[in-house]
Amino acid sequence: MIEVKNVTKTFDGFTALNDTTLTVPVGAVYGLVGPNGAGKSTIIRHLTGIYRQDSGSVQIDGQDVWENAALKSRIAVIPDDWYYFNTATIKDMMAFYKGMYPKFSMERYEKLKEVFAIDEKRPIRRLSKGMQKQAAFWLALSTMPDYLILDEPVDGLDPVMRRQVWSLMMGDVAERGTTVLVSSHNLRELEDVCDHVGIMDHGHVLLERSLAQLQDNMVKMQVVFADGMHEVPADLPVLHTSKLGRIHTLIMRMNAEEATNRLAVYNPILVDAVPLTLEEIFIYELGGADYAVKDIVL
Amino acid sequence: MQSKTSFFNGTIFKKNLTRYWPLWGMASFGGALFPLAMLVNLLHGSNAFRMEPLEMREIYFNVLTYAVPVISIVYAILCALAVWGYLYNARSVGMMHTIPVKRDSLFVTNVLSGLTMMAIPYAVTGILVVLVSLAAGSFDGLGTLVTVGGVICDSVCFFGLATLCAMVVGNVVALPAVYALLNFIAVLTDATINLLAQGFIFGLNGSYSGQFEWLSPVVYLMKKVSADCEYGQIKEINNIEQYYYTSKLTSVTLENGYILAIYGAVGVALLVAAYFLYRNRRSESAGDVVSVKALKPVFRYGVAFYAAMLGGRLLYALFVESYDYSDVLRVAPLSVCMFVAGAIGYYAASMLLAKSARVFTKKSLIGLAAVAVGCVAMCITMGYDLLGISRRVPTADSIETLTVYVAENNYNLRGGQDEELIEAVRKMHQTLVNQQERAKQNSKERCFETNGKVAFTYLTLEYRLKSGLNVQRRYNLYLSEDVMALDPDSYDAAIDELVNSPAMRQRRIHADDGAKVTGGWVNSYNGNGFDLNEREAQALLDVLKQDAAEGTWGTYDWFDRDYETAYAVDLDLEFQIVDSDGRTHYDYINIVIWPEMDHLTGKLLELGLAEPEDLISRHEYDERFNWGYYDKDPEVEAMLNAYSKAATETVIGGAYATTSVVVG
């Protein structure tokens, strides 16, 4: 289990993480979402031992990550901008990873060679951005990690390869119980793969729940009120409202059943509960946190 | 493959060496060229490298003294850049700190990688040299061992400093810059402070004192460590059974070799300091100029300091000295110049630290005020000599040696041996510093002016103290004949009294100071001259001492009054002096020969170095052979008349006035 407790980190007076707490259960696929500058990459760098927190604790399986080589040998990381040695080929990097990670599997490396189909003797700097990303996955998955920490992992990959890569990771989750923490802006994609979601803003985790809980906690109601009632009653707890013709669309922080009951009081002509997408949850949650982009998105 | 030793990681070590093989490969190739050249020489039958083992040791030690520090200082920073370069890029530092290895292990592995990269070229070169010298029969085991030790010490020292710099900075460009600065900061600071101080402080005239040279290893090593060779006379016989003597190398030791060991130990200490910095290094500092928070003010004010000192002096030269020709700096304008330059440095450093040009904040004004206070304080301290530097005359018991240059001659005095002379010099020095205001005023008023009544002279005093410190003073003085005659308490009289004292006359020709006369020249105005061998020079020196003792030689004439009565022949003597550090210097003195110097003139005639007709006065010589001759030559006379006529027609005017010809 990944546990980040009350972590604070400042850079030259700027607070990048502010009392951040985050928990990723074992075997979960955890999507970390948030606007640019929310602190997602910073928390990932703490989880991979690059940064040291000013206060709080960063633990995996009950052990501090900082300076814990044994623990780090069980973690594979793919940052948004993967680093490779300047003149290295995939084969060179494989030799390096093999030397560094005790569980590195040559068998898996050979199997993945067929999946990625990249010339392992070509210098990595000569590969396209997407191919470099594939190389990063190839090597990361060959280390047989218990924890896979990914920062914008599929940026630059074509749709087929994205599916291929997610399929490989989901296979690891299913077969080996790998825990995945993934930060991404592609909420549509996360919705398909994540079972847990954390939303960050201003260096703080606003909420974290399982996707089911999250979707159950907020609902989009489409309502047509009876004649003479043109506005949404003021006593309804509505996060956001919009109107198209006579149809009111209400975003309410409650489950569908409760929302239906609350609306029933006004004898609407039509009431329909529509599940929110992760993208909508993200937008409305952050809308509550004064996220500046909301007007543009809406 | 993970190493079982937690402090070493074989994979990273291998990665470092294989990734940067062009660096050590090229260096090895360059080093190997020298032994290969030796081999080619030997194969072609040349005897250039067929030498005695001791001669080979001398070469080893010379290479160790002069070449290895220079090579190491450059090569160490390249190796440090190779192994620590990842710290300066957010991507690479992220990767290296993500892999499952502790920082302890990463540090030790990188240090060992860097030192190995440094060692390989030296090892390749050394092994090849040993093989070639074995083939040539010139192998010297002890010399090889000492050289290997010296190379290791140099390598550890410079790589240790480069590693410490690597931990202090966060930018790949800053690393070599800071490394170069730290290597020469002592010399630079010394020269910078002296540059300003000598403009204020009476007698401070050297641009560099060398007090802190030990902080610049490459400078100190090249100055202090050397091959100490001793030669003996060997009697040999040639193939026609004639005996002859040759000079043969009998001993070669590495003088001050312990300094290398000290620097090696310092290198280890620097590596330990770097280790602690690395353990606490923040990965997010990649890209910063300075990565250690506590050192950021040091950088900011350090840049301001050097900018104020160097830039301030430059601004002063450009905007003040262009109309004020005084050789004494003025406090107020220099303070302003230093503040302007210091402020530029202060904000430039702030911009580098902040990686932004937005540094002109209200908060920054506090720092700017500190820069202003520092500049003014420094100028006032130097301008009014608050530290009393100009008034300092070392006490007699603190002096180990005293070197005096006055009246165109050098005097070497040793504490415990020349107590009376040292005391006499101190007394004269004290008189001079007490009257420094008059001396400075004279310098100002009599700039470029000398005549029969005023003489210009240099006086240099170099005290080497028992504490190891050097006190150097140099004075540019105008001496007045009237003051010298009328005021016995004046510095003019004090200098004259010292220079013309019997003891100093003897010392002028190095009597009893351990110097050895090694040769000389007799120069006649008529163009004849003789080179003197050591025996002839010694014979002439002996009789010169008699003349000096009898008072017929040695009175220094500051005002050149009777110069024309001296003989038109003079004598130069060359002296070899071995100083307290064991270093050999040469001093040359010129002896003007006066008719009263019976002993010297007699010896010159006796040795056939002069003929009676050479011993005529300079005035007489000029009369007879120069002007007198030309006056009688009709052609010269015609030429002189032509000049005389031309001189009556003078062109005046030019750039600022109408040009006209005046006849008269």
Q: pLDDT tens-digit profile of A55-68?
A: 999 999 999 999 99
pLDDT attached to residue B658: 42
What distances in angstroms separate CA B18 from CA A120, A176, A252, B14, one per listed residue?
18, 35, 61, 6
Tell me if B57 is assigned to some domain. Answer: yes
Mind listing the pLDDT tens digit for each residue in B587-616?
898 888 988 999 999 999 998 888 888 888
**% of chain B with per-residue pLDDT over 90:** 54
Question: Could you tell me what percentage of chain B is helix, strand and coil, using 3-state DSSP and rounding each to the nearest 5?
Answer: 60, 15, 25
pLDDT for position B514? 80
B185 within some domain: yes
pLDDT single digits (tens) B298-347: 999 999 999 999 999 999 989 888 776 666 678 889 999 999 999 999 99
For residue B633, the model assigns a pLDDT of 58
Question: What does pTM read for this prediction?
Answer: 0.79
Write down the pLDDT at residue B634.
61
Is the CB of residue B564 less than 8 Å from the CB of residue B545? no
Of A82-86, B343-347, B441-445, minimum mean pLDDT range: B441-445
For residue B283, give the DSSP letter: G
Same domain, B620 and B641: no
Q: What is the pLDDT of residues B206-217, one digit of tens each?
A: 667 777 888 999
Q: Are residues B640 and B604 in the same domain?
A: no
Q: Does B70 score more than 80 pLDDT?
A: yes
Same domain flag for B212 and B318: no
Per-residue pLDDT of B451-484, as tens digits, reads: 668 888 899 999 999 887 888 899 989 998 889 9
| Same domain as B193, residue B302 | no
The pLDDT assigned to B398 comes to 93
pLDDT band of residue B643 (cuts 50, 70, 90) is low
Same domain, B76 and B92: yes
Q: Which among A67, A83, A87 is the nearest to B95, CB-wise? A: A83
Q: pLDDT tens-digit profile of A209-241?
A: 888 888 788 888 999 988 777 788 888 888 888
Inter-chain contact B98–A52, Cβ cutoff 8 Å?
A: no
Average pLDDT, chain B: 87
**pLDDT value for B623:** 79
Q: Percentage of chain B surpassing pLDDT 70?
A: 90
Domain assignment of residue B344, yes or no:
yes
Q: Which of A47-51, A148-152, B528-532 has the lowest mean pLDDT?
A: B528-532
Closest-CA distance, A250 to chain B, in angstroms, reads: 44
List CB contacts (< 8 A) between B105 and chain A.
69
User: Do B172 and B32 belong to one domain?
Assistant: yes
| B439 pLDDT above the threshold of 60 | yes
Residues B627 and B637 in one domain: no
B513 in a structural domain = yes
Q: What is the pLDDT of residues B422-431, one digit of tens each?
A: 999 999 999 9
Chain segment A3-43, per-residue pLDDT in tens: 999 999 999 889 999 999 999 999 999 999 988 889 999 99
Give me the pLDDT at residue B600, please: 93
B6: closest chain A residue by CA: A69
A-B C-beta contacts closer than 8 Å:
64
Position A90 pLDDT exceeds 90: yes
Confidence of residue B649 (pLDDT cuts 50, 70, 90): very low
Measure the CA–CA gap between B324 and B327, rounded to whole angstroms. Answer: 9
Q: Which of A67, A79, A102 sits opposite B2 (nearest CB)?
A: A102
Crossing angle of helices B364-383 and B331-354, in 10° steps, is 150
B179 within domain boundaries: yes
Contact criterion met (CB below 8 Å) for A47 and A24: no
Provide mean pLDDT across the span B284-306.
94
Extract the tokens encoding A14: 């700027």
pLDDT tens digit sequence for A245-286: 888 999 888 888 899 998 888 888 899 988 888 888 877 877
| Residue B531, helix vs strand vs coil | strand
Question: What tens digit of pLDDT does each residue of B89-131 get?
Answer: 999 999 999 999 999 999 999 999 999 999 999 999 999 999 9
Which residue, of B285, B306, B325, is where some domain finishes?
Answer: B285
Nearest 5°: CA angle at B425, between B424 and B430?
100
Q: Cα(A103)–Cα(A110) distance, rounded to whole angstroms?
A: 15
pLDDT at B249 over 90: no
Considering its fold, how many domains does chain B have in total? Answer: 4
pLDDT in tens, B9-54: 999 999 999 999 999 999 999 999 999 988 888 888 777 767 888 9
Asked if the structure places residue B162 within a domain, the reply is yes
Give the list of residues 6+ apart from residue B241 with CB closer than 8 angstroms, or none: none
Residue type, B216: S
Q: How far apart are CA A140 and CA A112, in angstroms?
A: 11
The residue in chain A having the minimum alpha-carbon distance to the alpha carbon of residue B10 is A99
**B343, B371 Cβ separation under 8 angstroms:** yes
Q: Which of B89, B97, B100 sits opposite A50 (nearest CB)?
A: B97
Residues of chain B found within 8 Å of residue A72, distances taken between Cβ atoms? 98-101
B529 in any annotated domain = yes
Same domain, B538 and B638: no
Shared domain for B270 and B336, answered yes or no, is no
Given a cut of 70, whether residue B389 has pLDDT beyond it is yes
For residue B562, what pLDDT is reported?
67
Segment B439-444 shows an average pLDDT of 81
- Residue B371's domain comprises 298-383
Closest CA–CA distance from residue B9 to any residue of chain A (Å): 9
CA distances from B277 to B140, B173, B614 (A): 42, 19, 78
**Can you tell me the distance from the alpha carbon of B417 to that of B468, in angstroms, rounded to the nearest whole number?**
18
Which residues on B lie below 8 Å from A11 (Cβ)? 284
- Residue B650: the pLDDT is 42
From the number of C-beta atoms within 10 Å of its C-beta (0-12, 13-18, 19+), residue B663 rates as exposed
DSSP A275: P
Residues B530 and B592 in one domain: yes
Say whether both B82 and B215 belong to one domain. Answer: yes
**Same domain, yes or no: B185 and B308:** no
- Given B356, B383, B410, which residue is the final one in a domain? B383
- Confidence at B636, pLDDT banded by 50, 70, 90: low
Does B99 sit within 8 Å of A50, measured CB to CB?
no
Reported confidence tier of residue B653, pLDDT bands at 50, 70, 90: very low
Q: Is residue B423 part of a domain?
A: no
